[in-house]
């Protein structure tokens, strides 16, 4: 009952938004796949997909590697080692992403003589910012594996690295896969901020097109739909991966 009413209501609102347009004078033809102008505009907008995706993907891979390296001292018995983890996580997590992007792009050349281009400045800032969260996800994942697992690995002769690689991490990764998927979706959305330094990814292109077409609502709607599609695909991908790795079955079996 409740949900049916809610969905009818939102459907009504949605139609109002899109078609109650006559009085708002919406001009969907600027992004219509059926007009020549619309096709050219869409092509321009969609052209940003590659940068958005590639940047997010690279940042994800880097932040996973860095996050894992930061997570390992976080589970050590040694207190100084553990505090390096805490300090990194607390500091990096506190840096807001937008200022970080600006700082990397405009600040690094002054302070270190390194001028990254738009793309790599974006990758660097996204990866750094995300690595603190990945580190926490990995730490929680590793700690969720019972101690008996690494003890058993030790009694069959595995050393620390082998224990991590063959016993603890494979189980931890199955458990944190949904969280990693979340983080990837979040990264794709946050990559929009890299538009401020000039990278022509999805959001930048939308803004540029609005300057010439003056149709903010239509173009931003397309932009949101673009992100929506990307993230839906990622979600399905992660689910597929979960099934393939048998995470659901594995987690249920415990």
Partner 1 sequence: MTTDTAVSMRQVNKWFGTFHVLKDIDLDVRHGERVVVCGPSGSGKSTLVRCINQLETHEKGSIEISGHSIIPGRRGRKAANLIRTEVGMVFQQFNLFPHLTVIQNLTLGPMKALGLTQSEADARAMDYLERVHIPEQAEKKPAQLSGGQQQRVAIARALCMEPRIMLFDEPTSALDPEMIAEVLDVMIELAEEGTTMIVVTHEMGFARKAADTMVFMDEGRIVEQDKPDTFFSSPKTPRCRQFLQQILQH
Where on the chain is the footprint of partner 1 (CB under 8 A)?
146, 148-149, 151-159, 162, 166-167, 170-171, 174, 246, 250, 253-254
Shortest CB 179 distance to partner 1, Å: 18
For partner 1, the closer of residues 171 and 183 by Cβ is 171
Alpha-carbon gap, residue 254 to 250, rounded angstroms: 7
Structure tokens at 153: 């690995």
Please, what is the minimum distance in Å from the beta carbon of residue 66 to partner 1? 25
List Cβ neighbours of 250 (8 Å cut-off, separation of 6 or more): 171, 174
Least separation in angstroms between residue 166's CB and partner 1 is 6
Give every CB contact of residue 62 below 8 A, 6+ residues apart in sequence: 123, 127, 131
Q: Which CB sits closer to partner 1, 100 or 153?
A: 153
Q: Exposed, middle or buried by CB within 10 Å (0-12, 13-18, 19+), for 56?
A: buried
Q: Which is nearer to partner 1, 70 or 153 (CB)?
A: 153
Nearer to partner 1, 22 or 155 (CB): 155
Between 48 and 141, name the residue whose CB sits nearer to partner 1: 141
**CB of 178: closest distance to partner 1 in angstroms?**
17
Name the burial class of residue 8, with classes exposed (0-12), middle (13-18) and buried (19+) by CB atoms within 10 angstroms of its CB. exposed
Question: What are the tokens at 208?
Answer: 């540029």
Q: How far is the CB of 151 from partner 1 (least distance, A)?
A: 5
Query: Residue 94 is encoded by which pair of tokens?
Result: 């506190």
Looking at the chain, the number of H-run helices and the number of E-run strands are 14, 0
């Amino acid at each position: 009952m409740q949900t049916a009413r809610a969905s009818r209501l939102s459907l009504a609102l949605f139609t109002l938004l899109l078609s109650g347009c006559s009085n708002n004078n919406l001009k969907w033809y600027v992004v219509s796949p059926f007009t020549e102008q619309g096709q050219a505009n869409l092509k321009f907008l969609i052209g940003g997909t590659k940068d958005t995706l590639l940047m997010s993907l690279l940042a994800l891979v880097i932040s996973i590697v860095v996050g894992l390296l930061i997570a390992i001292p976080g589970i050590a018995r040694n207190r100084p080692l553990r505090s390096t983890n805490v300090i990194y996580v607390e500091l990096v997590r506190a840096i807001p992403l937008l200022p970080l992007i600006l700082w990397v792009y405009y600040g690094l050349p002054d302070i270190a003589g390194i001028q990254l281009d738009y793309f790599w400045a974006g990758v660097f800032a996204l990866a750094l910012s995300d690595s603190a969260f990945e580190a926490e996800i990995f730490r929680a994942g590793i700690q969720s594996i019972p101690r008996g697992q690494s003890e058993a690995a030790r009694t069959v002769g595995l050393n620390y690295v082998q224990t991590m690689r063959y016993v603890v991490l494979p189980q931890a990764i199955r458990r944190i896969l949904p969280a990693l998927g979340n983080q990837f979706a979040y990264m794709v959305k946050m990559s929009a901020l890299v538009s401020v330094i000039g990278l022509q990814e999805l959001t930048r292109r939308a803004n540029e097109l609005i300057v010439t077409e003056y149709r903010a609502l239509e173009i931003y709607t397309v932009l949101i739909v673009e992100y929506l599609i990307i993230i839906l695909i990622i979600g399905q991908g992660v689910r597929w991966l979960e099934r393939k790795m048998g995470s659901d079955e594995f987690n249920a079996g415990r």
